[in-house]
Chains A and B, each alone.
Chain A
């Protein structure tokens, strides 16, 4: 099955806002073994100039991947999600994510192609505050592996 190139440029409006919690930042940092005090201790984060705990650089995947997944499951796009693997990931920050941020993700289909039987979709999730301030863009390449690759 080929993916539909007419979906390039299509944008998906955000779902409900994601409220970044202190305990979620601590939990995520702990899961990646990151003991940086700015991720765990409010005074340490304040000393670096942040209003609250700072999230590690890959933390936005928590909200961005969910938004990207919802977008690429759009039936008209034609991506077989059961065969999807994560091909590439990039984050481009305007500022770090800190606890207390209320964030929404707007997903745009940036590119669509089929190569060697694999369907590839690149999405860009623009993560902004509910007030509209850009925080980070998360660009994701999802690859749906072609059936013939299994033989």
Chain B
């Protein structure tokens, strides 16, 4: 593992480069195929609304994966994430239009540990509302 972010370069409060991700219906179909999660609520509007959802919603694991990209794009090494967890608090609703939904992810270092790892806390918003609850990671630094 070779994180390009050095332990000496981070401190509590260091901000990760923020990113905004567009999630559209084609992206949900692609993620369904890649992950094997073909639940109807992620692609079929008729079914989603019949079970009380406002519309088709993104896979929670896709939203988590996008949050993870803020970690791995920062670190440069997809294998430098040692722990990663979140709650799924609100759905990302994906309308069938050209724009879809936008997921905004920010992150900051909340602890630097003696073993060469750091703890990162993320914030994940859609339409200004938190969609992931307490997303946190432990990452290994170079």
Q: Which residues of A are at the interface with B, using a C-beta cutoff of 8 A?
A: 24, 27-28, 30-34, 36, 38-39, 48-50, 54-58, 61-62, 65-66, 85-93, 95-96, 98, 139, 141, 150
> Does A86 contact B68, Cβ atoms closer than 8 Å?
no
> Does B1 contact A89, Cβ atoms closer than 8 Å?
no
Q: How far is the CB of A63 from chain B (nearest CB, A)?
A: 9
Is B128 close to A, CB under 8 A?
Answer: no
**Inter-chain contacts of A87 with B (CB < 8 A):** 87-88
Bitwise interface map of B from 53 to 77 toward A, beta carbon under 8 Å scored 1, else 0: 0000000111011101101110011
**Inter-chain contacts of A39 with B (CB < 8 A):** 78
> Does A86 contact B88, Cβ atoms closer than 8 Å?
yes
> Does A38 contact B77, Cβ atoms closer than 8 Å?
yes
Roughly how many angstroms separate A30 CA and B37 CA in the complex, as a whole number? 16
Q: How far is the CB of A147 from chain B (nearest CB, A)?
A: 12
Is B97 close to A, CB under 8 A?
Answer: no
Q: Which 8 A-B pairs have the closest CB atoms?
A: A90-B85, A96-B79, A31-B34, A32-B65, A57-B81, A58-B65, A31-B31, A28-B34
Interface residues on B, range: 35 or more
Roughly how many angstroms separate A27 CA and B69 CA in the complex, as a whole number? 15
The residue on A at minimum CB distance from B134 is A88
11 contacts between A and B (CB under 8 A): A31-B62, A32-B34, A32-B62, A36-B73, A38-B79, A48-B1, A57-B65, A57-B84, A85-B88, A88-B85, A91-B83
Roughly how many angstroms separate A24 CA and B33 CA in the complex, as a whole number? 10
The tally of CB-CB contacts under 8 A between chains A and B is 113
Roughly how many angstroms separate A7 CA and B72 CA in the complex, as a whole number? 37
Q: How far is the CB of B89 from chain A (nearest CB, A)?
A: 9
Q: Which residues of B are at the interface with A, using a C-beta cutoff of 8 A?
A: 1-2, 21, 27, 30-31, 33-37, 52, 60-62, 64-66, 68-69, 71-73, 76-79, 81-88, 133, 137
Interface residues of A, dominant DSSP: mixed
Identify 16 new A-B residue pairs, CB closer than 8 A, beyond the known A58-B65, A85-B88, A139-B85.
A30-B34, A31-B33, A31-B35, A32-B66, A32-B68, A33-B27, A33-B69, A56-B72, A57-B81, A58-B84, A86-B60, A86-B88, A90-B84, A90-B85, A93-B83, A96-B79
Q: How far is the CB of A23 from chain B (nearest CB, A)?
A: 11
> Does A89 contact B36, Cβ atoms closer than 8 Å?
no
**Inter-chain contacts of A55 with B (CB < 8 A):** 78
On whether A88 and B88 interact (CB within 8 A), knowing A57-B68, A62-B36, A93-B83, the answer reads yes
